[in-house]
Amino acid sequence: MAFKCPNCAGNLYYNITEKELQCEYCDSLFPLAKIPVPEFNEGPDLTNDPAQGNMPLVSFICKSCGAELLSPDESMLSYCSYCGSEAILEAKLTEEIKPKYILPFQQTKEQCKNIYRKRTEKMFFLPKDLKDSEYLERFRGTYIPYWMYKVDFPEPVTFEAKKKTTKNKQITETTYEVEAKVDGSFEGVPYDASSCFDDTISDMLMPFDKKKLKDFHPGYLAGFYADRADVPAEKYHVDAENRATQNAFDALSLSVRKSDKLDATIISKSEKKTLIKSEVIDNFTALFPIWFLTWRNKKRVAYAIVNGQNGRISCDLPVDMKSYSLSTIVTAAILFVLLTLFVSMTARTALMICSVLTVVALGLFKGEAREIRDRENHIFDKGYFVKGREVKMKEKKREKIREKKLFKSKKTLSTAVIMGGAFGAYVVWLFFNDVDISPSQKLLFVTFTCVIIGTIFAIQARSSLRYVREKSIRLFNFVAWAAVAASFFIAAWDPVSDIYYYFGCLACGLGAAIGSIGLIKYYNLLTTRQIPTFFDREGGRDNAKE
């Protein structure tokens, strides 16, 4: 099945630098056109298009997660790129539909590792494995399939545009009806055609330079993985048409503005779709290059992905809890000594500061809760659900969140932000009006504001946690909120002895510390993913060369 060297019969791999096939043994170089494609005639006819045809491959199946790794040769793999299992993979012959285009690798493995090192060199709390030079050898070249769509505009477009003129200090606005035709067709941004390659990661790798696409030749796959396109083309038809509609409207608006100095009327997304008729008239697959690194920790995996064309990088970078905890303890001890020796403050002021810091921790926690909710429920990964996979959140709720994040033009201010702004304005007003307020009143006002804002943050975080599998993380959210509530009750009680205020400071400190630990644990959940347990996965090829 493999591409063989005409000189010594050794295996050939695609040399990224030379842009030719090279022998692993004698180092001879050969243009792709001079190497015959291995024949394989046992499989079924997968396509009715003789110009596209099929191609022979070897399929490796991971016994641990069911990942299916495609390769031009029969070299056995040492571990699975998708779950990180070090297991021998079963091999079998298969036949796949050839993609129409391919974007060959331009970044070598060494360049990829240098890009990754530059990204992580100042990350002090990164697990040691993710900085180890030997471990970075696990970077593997992978071709990911994407659907490309050709969209046509069959009907002329009529829309309103306005022109403002100023004469004698009077502004006159005139409305015109503009009729235009969108010439040609639109070939939009590619859409990830692999059901288990997360669309959010795919988006982070963009853009690829489509001008450098080449007609597919299986020789480009020699030495690399090749994922299979298992998401139906129809899955992204609406997305492609909507993107084409938006681009067409933007182009028409710019055209009338430049030629006639008119401003197109701002209309909604649904109105644009009605105004500009778009239709997908063709679709085809193309393979795009990435470098893929897997890091496994118990039942979680983290990925580092590098765009194999331009070096753009997307990383899941967890925090090592041991090194983080140690550095936090040392930093806290140093700050305690410095504050004790050089700063003098009352017990009420200390409690006020601790309350504010705990609310900040709650706010950060809320934001992380929303992010991991979106990831675990694959809010922006439509291809994930192609094989009937399910998550805790219902589709109607997922669609509502997508619409809110993708199409909402104006974001409403949360109650917490409004109250925080009002509190700041009030403090400024007190300062400029020299209002005499007792320390007890100041503390009561600050802690009351903190408990209201903290309650809002805690409720918002709890709302997101409903859709997250890890339930123990809710305790961190509650403890931080309870600490803020305790500081308010102490302020309302207004005891004479300072010991109660210091007790409140201790409670807030513990609450903020526990909340911070929860935040880091939650961050690690966000930056890692559950080990895939699918048994319908198609993917990759090991033994990538430079």
Across 108-128, average pLDDT: 87
- List C-alpha distances in Å: 480 to 14, 50, 419, 513: 55, 65, 19, 8
For residues 111 and 340, what is the distance between their CA atoms, to the nearest angstrom?
50
Nearest partner of 129 among 545, 539, 528, judged by Cα: 528
The pLDDT of residue 104 is above 90: yes
Residue type, 200: T
pLDDT of residue 103: 92
Find out whether the peptide bond into 50 is cis, omega within 30 degrees of 0: no
Would you tell me the crossing angle of helices 439-465 and 347-376 to the nearest 10 degrees?
Answer: 10
User: Where are the extended beta strands (E) located within 48-122?
Assistant: 54-61, 68-71, 90-97, 101-102
CB 290 within 8 A of CB 308: yes
pLDDT given at position 273 = 58
Residue 495, pLDDT score: 87
- What pLDDT score was predicted for residue 9? 84
**28-75 residue pLDDT tens:** 999 988 877 655 444 444 343 444 566 666 676 777 766 666 766 655
CB contact set of 202 (below 8 Å; sequence gap of 6+): 144, 146, 192
Which of the pair, 338 or 145, is modelled with greater confidence? 145
Which one, of 273, 148, 149, 144, lies nearest residue 197 by Cα?
Answer: 144
What pLDDT was estimated at residue 114? Answer: 93
pLDDT at residue 79, rounded to an integer = 65
Q: What is the pLDDT of residues 295-340, one digit of tens each?
A: 887 777 888 889 999 888 888 788 888 887 777 777 767 776 776 6
pTM above 0.85, yes or no: no
pLDDT of residue 107: 92
CA 33, 38, 43 angle in degrees (round to 5)? 135
Q: Would you state the pLDDT for residue 256?
A: 62
If pLDDT is split at 50, 70 and 90, which confidence band does 348 have? Answer: confident
pLDDT attached to residue 420: 61
Q: Flag whether pLDDT at 162 surpasses 70.
A: no
Cβ neighbors of 430 (< 8 A, separation 6 or more) are: 437
**Separation CA 328–CA 335 (nearest Å):** 10
Highest mean pLDDT among 159-173, 217-231, 370-384, 522-536: 217-231
How high is the pLDDT of residue 387? 64
- Coil, strand, or helix at residue 488? helix
- Residue scoring higher pLDDT (170 or 20): 20
CA atoms of 335 and 329, how far apart (whole Å): 10
Percent of the chain whose predicted confidence (pLDDT) is above 90: 5
The mean pLDDT value for 147-171 works out to 71
Query: For residue 543, is pLDDT > 70?
Result: no
413-449 confidence digits (pLDDT tens): 555 566 666 666 766 666 556 666 777 887 888 888 8
β-pairing verdict for 225-226 and 140-152: parallel
Residue 289 binned pLDDT confidence (cut-offs 50, 70, 90): very high
| pLDDT tier, 134 (very low <50, low <70, confident <90, very high otherwise) | confident
Share of the chain above pLDDT 70, in %: 68
CA distances from 170 to 16, 36, 165, 167, 372 (A): 65, 76, 8, 5, 54
